[in-house]
Amino acid sequence: MTTSAKPAPLVCIGDPLIDILFRDAEPLLAKYGLRANDAIRATVDHSALYGETSDFQTTLVAGGAAQSTARGAAYILPLNSVVYSGCVGADAQANFLREANEREGVRTIYNIHPTLPTGACAVLLTGHNRSLVTNVAAAAAFDIAHFSTPDMQEVLAGARIIYTTGFFLANTLESTMYLARQAASRDQVRVCAQHLRTVHPRLHFAKFEAVLPFCDVVLGNEADARSWATAAGLDGDTLSLENIAQAICALPFEASKTLHKRSRTVILTNGSNPTILTTEHETKIIAVPLVPSDEIVDTNGAGDAFAGGLFAGMVLGKPMDVCIALGHRMGAMSVKHVGPQYSFPKVDVLNDL
């Protein structure tokens, strides 16, 4: 099942997951040997975790980094401005995700895997900490042939911004490079989020090295940035985030990008600490508005919400300072809810910017 393939300015492609949020999950951390604030891929040792719902307060939420970002951008943009794609199973979980996207204004064009189930992420909440255990399942089986379907061809041709994540890159370099080359040939802005800490820099650094020359915007958090720096042979533990951002910004472009005289923007978030914005001309340190501790419900997905606000601002043609302010507002909204969710009725986050 697909929706209309009418082009949209923002296309997000990633690993669609259903998030299973466990409240007061300290016993599960102990049982499965997990850290309170971490993100890992599931192994056979975690197979029973996703069924531990009877003894805990749980919530199901549409998740996956790029999918949460798509919903965040759609919160701000006019209807039919955002398309999302990724691989899901032919199951009820995929229907849950599709309905959540449609409800929040995201048009979905899924690649349906005939046998694998839709991916899931167990989110173990303890206070303000969250431990993520992801079973990617169908999400890791994205078929590059999906990009050749008429719907996806039309959507990709009409996009102004194409966003994908390090998670997607780790699973399918071939598909990511297809997107990169298509964006370069059409002079579209291509955005890549790093997620290097989660996808393991030593295993996947070469993949990032392959795709970064095509990226006009690189988005990551402090842990991503330090992981990249270490894998690149820099001192990731002691370098400032500003210096790491400048190193990423200075990486060479692919030849066709150079012909278009492109410049790269690097944005690094660091929780409640200032956000780093680096271009070829300058580096800015932008304060993050404070969210009172007693208003924070769940930080899971805050970075994806930030990305949604950022890309919405870019689609609207806002200056990058304003785009980051929109990202901060969406991130602040997200942490006041369980999981990567947003406030309804909608709040006018563009007001006063």
| Packing angle of the helix pair 65-76, 302-315 (nearest 10 deg) | 50
- Residue 268's alpha-carbon distances to 84, 222, 223, 284, in angstroms, are 24, 6, 10, 11
Instruction: Please answer whether residues 340 and 35 qualify as being in contact, where contact means their C-beta atoms are separated by less than 8 angstroms.
Output: no
Which candidate in 38, 304, 348, 352 is catalytic? 304
Pairing of strands 129-135, 119-126: antiparallel
Q: Is 247 exposed, middle or buried, given 0-12, 13-18 or 19+ CB atoms closer than 10 A?
A: middle
Query: Closest Cα partner for 226 from 248, 204, 210, 206?
Result: 248
> Is 304 among the catalytic positions?
yes
Active site residues: 304
